[in-house]
Amino acid sequence: MSATEEPALYASREPIFPKRVKGSFRSFKWVILIVTLGIYYITPWIRWDRGPELPGQAVLMDLANRRFFFFWIEIWPHEFYFVAGLLIMAGLGLFLFTSALGRVWCGYACPQTVWTDLFILVERWIEGDRNAQIRLFRQGWDARKARLRATKWIVWILIALATGGAWVFYFADAPTLLQNLVTGQAASVAYITIGILTATTFVFGGLMREQVCIYACPWPRIQAAMMDEDTITVAYRDWRGEPRGRHRKAHDDAGDTETLGDCIDCNACVNVCPMGIDIRDGQQLECITCALCIDACDEVMAKIGKPRGLIDYIALTDEMNEREGNPKVPIWKHIFRVRTIMYTVLWAAIGIGLVVALFVRPDLSVTVAPVRNPVFVTMSDGTIRNTYDVRLRNKHGEDRVFEVTLASDAPLVLTAEGEEGGEILVPADSTMLQRIYIMAGPETAAAADSVTDVTLWVEDTVSGERVYKRTVFNGRAASNTAGN
């Protein structure tokens, strides 16, 4: 190293003390916070009666039995395409919202934002607003500071614990698990999960905050690529605000003739920003468009008798337009354009497709796999026998008897391994692998031919629901060597 100042390898974080703000966007964000956190914490406790054999939890991700329960819907692993469809919808939904409203997800609904908001709220209750926090930050350690810090961290940890705790309830029966957790009988994976999520919630919401968005999250970069000149985003109308001036009276008294802009440089927008930026510098990577600066500025504009909206939700095209003095373009004209409408149509099409698929999916689900090793077996009386692995799914909460029958032009006989006739008892909520035999008499055409088409019908003997599967029967001509 040279003798000059040693450059630091890392930039340390600049502490941010967002000031409390009131306004319509802030109120809206409180509502979203209460609704989203409410859904998150309460959902596992909603009960849903599915009968004695199935879990009574409305939303349950049953990993051990590989089932997903969502109120009246039960998803089995082979129906994972529903999850894929939902993920595609979530993706398209984000495209739609980003192209129309910019980083609205980041500003309002992202868990990082919601939990950070909650943590900041707690911080403000305990340590006071921005100025008190700054004073506390700068002062040395004393009993009061220690007490406030300890209180804050304890409350944060409790929130983090509740967050991590709520997560595991989605994967097991919530009341039972809570009891086990408290008595120390729950599986170690539950404690580990809670521990990890408690730590991440505490660190992300309490300590890292905006650094997660700026350094860790890939989503802002993806979003930046999806915004265009019609995307609504939070911006400063510098053509209206500049040149900014703080001391208007002094300015006028000095006989200055330059007209100052509306911005009085009160820094209200900077003080409330949870990301620690100045929106008047223009669009920035750090901005999550939480709109708190809009609320802060509107409050100031009202006080000084200027129209609201110096900082506002506007699109890039508005700048040119408004600089030229044209009237403002209404927001909906930015939002309703070919791109967003196409996203909406795609999104809705997949949604409708999923709903239709959900309603038309059969309760009865059967797969038939002909055994190919060997393709047929010759019995001692010359009968030719084919074997089929039939998987029968019973999605009901009680045992069901399924009857397998055969429909074919050829005189074939069906039997099931270990069962009398074709009636098979499938236990509740399970899949059963049943071997089915089809036999052709020695002299029949099916025994001699290579391939005979057959259809297997499976009927639920309780509901009467029937499904069929087409398959083939292989006779002696299918192979010269197999079936010796």
Partner 1 sequence: MVDKQDKKPEKRAKPASRRLPKTARELKEEVGTTGHSWDGIEELDNPMPRWWLTVFYITIIWGVVYTILYPAWPLVNSATSGILGWSSRGEFTAEVEAQNEANAAINARLDSAELTAIADDPELEQYAVNAGAAVFRTWCSQCHGAGAAGAIGFPNLLDDAWLWGGSLEEIYYTVAYGIRNEVSADSHYSEMPAFGDILSDEEIAQVVNYVQSLSGDPQDAAAAAAGAEIYLDNCSACHGEEGLGDIYQGAPNLTDPIWLYGGDYDTLLETVTYSRYGVMPPWLNTEGGRLTESQVRAVSVYVHQLGGGQ
Q: Which residues bind partner 1 (CB under 8 A)?
A: 1-2, 4, 7-9, 11-12, 14, 243-246, 251, 254, 256, 258, 265, 371, 373-374, 377-382, 385, 387, 417-418, 435, 437, 442, 482-484
Q: How far apart are CA 386 and CA 473, in angstroms?
A: 7
DSSP assignment of 441-459, as one string? -TTSHHHHSSEEEEEEEEE
Instruction: Please state the closest distance from residue 375 (CB atom) to partner 1, in A.
Output: 9
Q: Between 231 and 387, whose beta carbon lies closer to partner 1? A: 387
Instruction: Please state the closest distance from residue 438 (CB atom) to partner 1, in A.
Output: 12
Query: Which residue, chain included where needed, has tokens 């025994």?
Result: 447
- Cβ partners under 8 Å of residue 473, min gap 6: 386, 408, 410, 412, 438, 440, 446, 451, 452, 453, 454
Q: Which residues of 448-482 are buried (b: 16+ CB within 10 A; e: fewer)?
A: ebeebebebebbbeeeeeeeebebebbbbebeeee
Instruction: Please state the closest distance from residue 246 (CB atom) to partner 1, in A.
Output: 5
Instruction: Please state the closest distance from residue 138 (CB atom) to partner 1, in A.
Output: 15
Q: Between 96 and 263, whose beta carbon lies closer to partner 1? A: 263
Instruction: Please state the closest distance from residue 250 (CB atom) to partner 1, in A.
Output: 9
Q: Between 147 and 372, whose beta carbon lies closer to partner 1? A: 372
Q: What is the 8-class DSSP label of residue 146?
A: H
Query: Which residue, chain included where needed, has tokens 């330059």?
Result: 258
Q: Between 90 and 379, whose beta carbon lies closer to partner 1? A: 379
> What are the φ and ψ backbone dihedral angles of 150, each rounded to 5 degrees?
-60, -45
| Cβ-contact 266, 190 below 8 angstroms | no
Q: Between 4 and 183, whose beta carbon lies closer to partner 1? A: 4
What is the number of residues in the chain?
484
Helices (H), 79-129: 81-101, 104, 111-127
Instruction: Please state the closest distance from residue 109 (CB atom) to partner 1, in A.
Output: 29
Instruction: Please state the closest distance from residue 168 (CB atom) to partner 1, in A.
Output: 27
Instruction: Classify burial at 190, counting beta carbons within 10 Å of its beta carbon; exposed 0-12, middle 13-18, buried 19 or more.
Output: buried
- Cβ partners under 8 Å of residue 310, min gap 6: 236, 237, 240, 241, 262, 263, 297, 301
Instruction: Please state the closest distance from residue 382 (CB atom) to partner 1, in A.
Output: 5
- Tokens representing 390 are 């039939």
The residue type at 344: T
What are residue 452's DSSP bridge partners? 473
Smallest CA-to-CA distance from 248 within 269, 236, 266 is with: 266
Q: Between 246 and 466, whose beta carbon lies closer to partner 1? A: 246
Q: Between 149 and 435, whose beta carbon lies closer to partner 1? A: 435
Instruction: Please state the closest distance from residue 43 (CB atom) to partner 1, in A.
Output: 36
Q: Between 26 and 400, whose beta carbon lies closer to partner 1? A: 400
Q: Between 8 and 360, whose beta carbon lies closer to partner 1? A: 8
State whether residue 466 is helix, strand or coil: strand
Instruction: Please state the closest distance from residue 232 (CB atom) to partner 1, in A.
Output: 28
State whether residue 390 is helix, strand or coil: strand
Instruction: Please state the closest distance from residue 240 (CB atom) to partner 1, in A.
Output: 17
Q: Between 151 and 267, whose beta carbon lies closer to partner 1? A: 267
Q: What is the 8-class DSSP label of residue 328?
A: P
Q: Between 152 and 280, whose beta carbon lies closer to partner 1? A: 280
Give the count of alpha carbons within 13 A of 165, CB side only: 17
Q: How far apart are CA 307 and CA 309, in angstroms?
A: 7
